[in-house]
Structure 1
Amino acid sequence: MSSDWSTSRELLLPAISSAPHGARGRALEQALKEAVRTGRLAGGVRLPSTRDLAAQLGVARGTVTAAYDQLTAEGYLVARRGSGTRVAEGVAMAEQGEGPPTRPRRELIPLRPGLPSMAAFPRTAWLAATRAGLAGLADAELSYPDPAGLAGLRAELAAYLGRVRGVSAGPEEVVVTHGTFESIGLLAAVLRDRGHTTVAVEELCNRDLHDLLELHGFGVEPVTLDEHGLDVEALERTGSRAVVVTAAHQYPLGVALHPARRRALADWARRAGGLVIEDDYDAEYRYDRAPLSAVQGLAPSHVAYLGTLSKTLAPAVRLGWMVVPAALRHEVVRRKELHDRGVSTLQQAAFAHFLREGGYDRHLRRTTSTYRRRRDALLAALAEQLPSWRPYGIAAGLHVVLRLPEGTDDAALAAHLSDHGIATTPLSAYGRAAFPAIVVGYARLSPERLHEAVARLRAAVGPPTVGEASGPPSI
C-alpha cells in the first residue's frame, strides 16, 4: 500500500470515526469534497481503490463506492477505466476568507485547434521502425549527428516531398530540425545577419510567431487576407523582403492561396530578392479539394519550405524539416550545429525507416479517413443544432472556423464556453479579424464525442446567442 493511500486514511479517518454508524457514507462524501475543494487533495491525484480505502477506514466497500460515484457525478472526481479514480482538475476553492468558492468545472471537451489525435499515433509501427532504424545504424552514426540531418532521412524526405508536395529538392537541400518553430528561428537568425529588419506575416496567424520574430529583433508586418489568401500587393507595400505564409491551408482561416496569388508571390520574391517561408503544416489532410503543390516548386531559389510531424504523427516526436535555398543553406546548417548539434539520430533513423517502408503513407491514408469522418460528424451536428454558426475552411486540415452572429464578442464567448467545459479558441486571438468566430479542432474527438460537444455548445450558448450571421464573410 503506497504512502498516498495512508495519507488518505489520515485525511479522512477523523471525519468518519466521529460520525454515527448510519451516517458514515455522508461523512465520507463531505470529507472528500472538502479535501478537494480546499486543495488538500490536488487536481490529478489518484485516489485509493474502493476496496483499499474501505479497508483503511473500516467501512463497507459499498460506502466508498457510493461516495466516489456521487462526487464523480458532481464533477469533483473523474473515473476512467484502467486508470482508477482521480481528483478533477480546477476544482480547488479559494482559501477561506479570500473570496467565494469556485464551482467544480466539468471535464473540458478539447476543441482547440492545432493538434492531431494522439490516440491515432501508430505505436506498434513506430516501435518496429525504431528497432529497425537502430539496427541499421553503423557504429560511427551513433556519434554527434550531421547537423543537416541523417543522410538516409534527407534522401527519403526529398523523394517524398517531390512525390507528394511537388517540392523541387535533392537530399543536400534538406535540413532536419525539431519542428516548424526551430526552422523559422534558424532562418530568422540568418536573415537578421543579412540585414533584414522586418518580416511580414499573415494578419491572422499563430501569435507565438510574432513573439518568435520579435525575439530575434524583427519588426512584424501583418499582411491582409481575403478569400484568396495572402494579398501580395499588400505584401509589397510593407517593404519587407521576407514573409511567412501558410499557403496550402491558411492558419487559422483554412483558405488556400489562389493559383494567381501563388504565381504573384513567387514573382514578388524574385523581384525583391526576398524569401518566402512556406509553412506547410498540415497539407497532407484534404477532403473536398484537389491537392495543391507547394509554392516552393515555383521559385526554389526564393522559398524555404517547412514541414513537421507535429500535425501528422504527434508533437512528441519533435521532428521537422526545411528545404533551404542554396544561398542560405551553409549558414542555416552552421546555425543548427551551434544551436543544438543536430537532431537525435535515433529519431531520424526511425522515421527514415517508417517513410521508406510505406508506414507513413499508410498512417496518412488511415488518419485522413478518420479525420474526414470526424469533420463530417461535426458539420452534421452543427447543421442540426447550431445552423446559424457558419463553418469555413472545411475542405482540408484538422479544424474549422465557425462564424458567429454579428456583434458577438468571440473572446467572451470562448471564455464562457470554457466555464462550461468546452475548450475553443476565438478568431480574434489570432489577430485582426473581419468577423467574430471561434476556431474548433475536431481531430481528437470521435464522431460520438463531437455530437456531444455540439450539444454542450448549444446548451452553453442558449437561444439568445443563436442568431443569423449577416451575409457572406469578407474573408
Structure 2
Amino acid sequence: MADSWVNQAERIGADLHLELSGPGGRRAALIRALREAVRSGRLAPGTRLPPYRSLAADLGVARNTVADAYAELVAEGWLTARQGSGTRVAERAEPLNRTANRSTHRTATGTANRAPRVPRKTPPRARGPRHDLSQGTPDASAFPRAAWLASYRRALQQAPNEVFGPGDPAGRRELREALTEYLARARGVRTEPDRIVICSGFAHALRLLFHPNGHSGAPSVLRGPLAVESYGLGFHRGLLSAGGVRTVPLPLDADGARADLLAGERAVLLTPAHQFPTGGPLHPTRRAAVVDWARARGGVVLEDDYDGEFRYDRKPVGAVQGLDPERVIYLGSVSKSLSPAVRLGWMVLPERYVDGVLAAKGEREGWASVLDQLSLADFLACGSYDRHVRRMRQRYRGRRDRLVAALAERAPHIEVTGVAAGLHAVLRLPPGTEPSAVKAAAWQGIALDGLAAFRHPEAPMAAPDGLVVGYATPSEHAYGAALDALCGVLPPP
C-alpha cells in the first residue's frame, strides 16, 4: 500500500463511515471514532462490526490496528466479542458516560469485564388504528413469501448478464410474454408483448399517459378533458389535475357509468369489472356502448382493472379491452393481488400509443426493478400467481361472507351493496347518518371511509349515505375483532 495513502490525516471507513483524525496515531483515532459512533446511536446495540481484515482494508490501516482497537473497546464494555458471533456493539439501555475510562474497569477473571445486559429500549412508534378496515389494501400477512422467494432465486440464477445493465423502458421481454399469456387466459385481453409497457403501478401509468414529456419537450400522450366516473379516488383526480388535465364526472346508476352522456371528451377512465368504490359492474350494453363511442369519436377508453380477478359469486367478467384492442388502454398491477410493496404494473396499449409512452419513460427503465420483473415473470409462468389468486379469492370471499352474516345478525337494517367481488364492500346507511358514523368509527380507532369522500366535486348528484369497508386489510386473527368494533358504531334504524 502506498505511504501517501497510509499517512493521510483523515480516512473514511466505507461501511461504517468512520473518520480517523486527531492526535495519538491511527489506533487511538479508530477507538475514538468507534466510541463516538456508538455514543451517538449511529451504531445501534447488537450491530455486527466488519472483520478486522475488511475494516483495515477500508480504512487503509494495518490489520493489527483494528484488532487492538476492537480489543480495547471490548475491555471497556463498548463492544462484545464471542466465538462464532463476531464483534458486536454491546447491548445497553443508555450510551456509556462520556467520562468513562479504562481505569474504572476491573481485569479480574469471571464476569467483571463483560458489559451488563440490559433490555434494549423500544423506539417509539406512531400509533395506527386499532382496527384497519381501510379500502384498497390486501392482507399483508398473506403475501406468498416462500413462493416469491423461490421465483426470485430462479430468476436471479437464470438471469443473463445484460440484466444488470440499463433496463429496457418497455420492460423485460420475459415479463411481457408471461403477461400476454396470463391476461389472455384470465382476463380476455388480446395483445402481444410489443404492445405491453411495464410501469410501477396505476398512478405511474397515468403520469406517463397525461403528463408532458418534460425531458424531451414532447407533449403528453393523451390530453384532457377526461371523463371519469363520478365516484373514484381523489388521489387520481389530483394527479391528473397536476398534469393540467380537467376531469369531467360521468354519472353512475345501477348499470354503471352513463356512457350515453359522454360528450366532447376524447378519453374516458372506467373501472368496468367492479366500479370503485360503489361496487357494481358495467352492464354489457354499456360496455358495448363505450367502445362504440370511442370508435365514433376517435377516442380511447382507459380500463382500470384494479381487482378484476376477485369475483366471488360467478366467474370474473372479462376485460372491455377484448372488444376492441385499438380503442382501449388496459391498465393493471399487482397492488391488490400480491402487494402494493411490489411496485409493478402494466399498460396494454393500442399500437398508436406505444412509441409515445416509451418516449415518456425515457431511454432507460427508471421505475420498475428489473429483478422484480423477472421474478414476477417466473411467478406467473410456474403457476404460483394463479395458486395465490385462487387462495386469496377463497379467503376474501370468506371475509365478505362473515361481514354480511355479522350485519344480518347485529344490524339487519344495514345493506351490503354491489356485487360480491374485490377487497371492499359498501354498507348502505340510513339517510343523513354517514358523517356521524365516520366520526364514531374514528373515535373507536376504526380506519374506514365514508362514501362521500370519493365523490367528484363536480358530480351532479350524490349517492346515498354509505361506508366503504375494506374487509381484506386486517390479518385473519384480527378480523373478528374488527367486525365487532364495526357493528358497534353503525347507526340504529
Shorter-chain TM-score bucket reads: 0.7 to 0.9
C-alpha contact (below 8 Å) 1:309/1:319 kept by paired residues: yes
Q: Where does residue 142 of structure 2 map in the other structure?
A: 120
Unaligned runs of 5+ in 2: 1-37, 42-91, 94-119, 214-218
Structure with greater Cα Rg:
2
Q: Where does residue 188 of structure 2 map in the other structure?
A: 166
Q: Where does residue 45 of structure 2 map in the other structure?
A: none
Candidates 392, 395, 402, aligned match of 2:420: 395
Distance 1:357 1:292, change over 3 A: same
Distance 1:218 1:131, change over 3 A: same
Report runs of 4+ in structure 1 exceeding 6 Å deviation: 2-5, 83-86
Counterparts of 1:293 and 1:446, CA distance in 2: 30
How far does residue 413 in structure 1 lie from its aligned partner after superposition? Answer: 2.2
C-alpha contact (below 8 Å) 2:304/2:330 kept by paired residues: yes
C-alpha contact (below 8 Å) 1:144/1:342 kept by paired residues: no
How far does residue 281 in structure 1 lie from its aligned partner after superposition? Answer: 0.5
C-alpha contact (below 8 Å) 1:283/1:397 kept by paired residues: yes
Counterparts of 1:197 and 1:447, CA distance in 2: 43
Counterparts of 2:439 and 2:363, CA distance in 1: 42
**TM-score in terms of structure 2 length:** 0.71
Counterparts of 2:222 and 2:481, CA distance in 1: 53
Candidates 380, 397, 404, aligned match of 1:379: 404
Q: Where does residue 442 of structure 1 map in the other structure?
A: 471
Counterparts of 1:315 and 1:412, CA distance in 2: 31
1:204 aligns with 2:263: no
Q: Where does residue 187 of structure 1 map in the other structure?
A: 209
C-alpha contact (below 8 Å) 2:425/2:469 kept by paired residues: yes
C-alpha contact (below 8 Å) 2:407/2:487 kept by paired residues: no
Counterparts of 2:222 and 2:383, CA distance in 1: 43
Q: Tell me the alpha carbon deviations over residues 325-380 of structure 1, each in whole angstroms, 9 at most, x when there is no partner.
A: 10111010111126853522111011111111111011111111111111111111
Matched positions, count: 372
User: Partner amino acid for 1:219?
Assistant: R
How far does residue 446 in structure 1 lie from its aligned partner after superposition? Answer: 5.1
Counterparts of 1:429 and 1:303, CA distance in 2: 28
Q: Where does residue 245 of structure 2 map in the other structure?
A: 218
How far does residue 416 in structure 1 lie from its aligned partner after superposition? Answer: 2.3
State the SS of the aligned residue for 1:183: helix
Counterparts of 1:295 and 1:114, CA distance in 2: 22
1:267 aligns with 2:292: yes
Counterparts of 1:329 and 1:158, CA distance in 2: 15
Counterparts of 2:401 and 2:475, CA distance in 1: 11
Distance 1:417 1:85, change over 3 A: farther
Candidates 249, 263, 279, aligned match of 2:304: 279
State the SS of the aligned residue for 1:146: coil
Counterparts of 1:262 and 1:375, CA distance in 2: 27
C-alpha contact (below 8 Å) 2:139/2:475 kept by paired residues: no
C-alpha contact (below 8 Å) 2:255/2:281 kept by paired residues: yes
How far does residue 129 in structure 1 lie from its aligned partner after superposition? Answer: 0.8
1:418 aligns with 2:445: no
Q: Where does residue 487 of structure 2 map in the other structure?
A: 458
C-alpha contact (below 8 Å) 1:378/1:451 kept by paired residues: no
State the SS of the aligned residue for 2:168: coil
**Alignment of structure 1 residues 45-124 onto 2, 5 Å:** 89=126, 107-124=129-146
Q: Tell me the alpha carbon deviations over residues 375-399 of structure 1, each in whole angstroms, 9 at most, x when there is no partner.
A: 1111111111111111012411011
Q: Percent identity?
A: 42
Counterparts of 1:205 and 1:146, CA distance in 2: 32
Q: Tell me the alpha carbon deviations over residues 1-36 of structure 1, each in whole angstroms, 9 at most, x when there is no partner.
A: x9899xxxxxxxxxxxxxxxxxxxxxxxxxxxxxxx
1:150 aligns with 2:179: no
1:312 aligns with 2:334: no
Counterparts of 2:278 and 2:255, CA distance in 1: 11
C-alpha contact (below 8 Å) 1:402/1:437 kept by paired residues: yes
State the SS of the aligned residue for 1:164: helix
Q: Going by fraction, where is helix more abundant, 1 or 2? A: 1
User: Partner amino acid for 1:457?
Assistant: L
Q: Where does residue 283 of structure 2 map in the other structure?
A: 258
C-alpha contact (below 8 Å) 1:307/1:321 kept by paired residues: yes
How far does residue 218 in structure 1 lie from its aligned partner after superposition? Answer: 1.1
Distance 1:348 1:108, change over 3 A: same
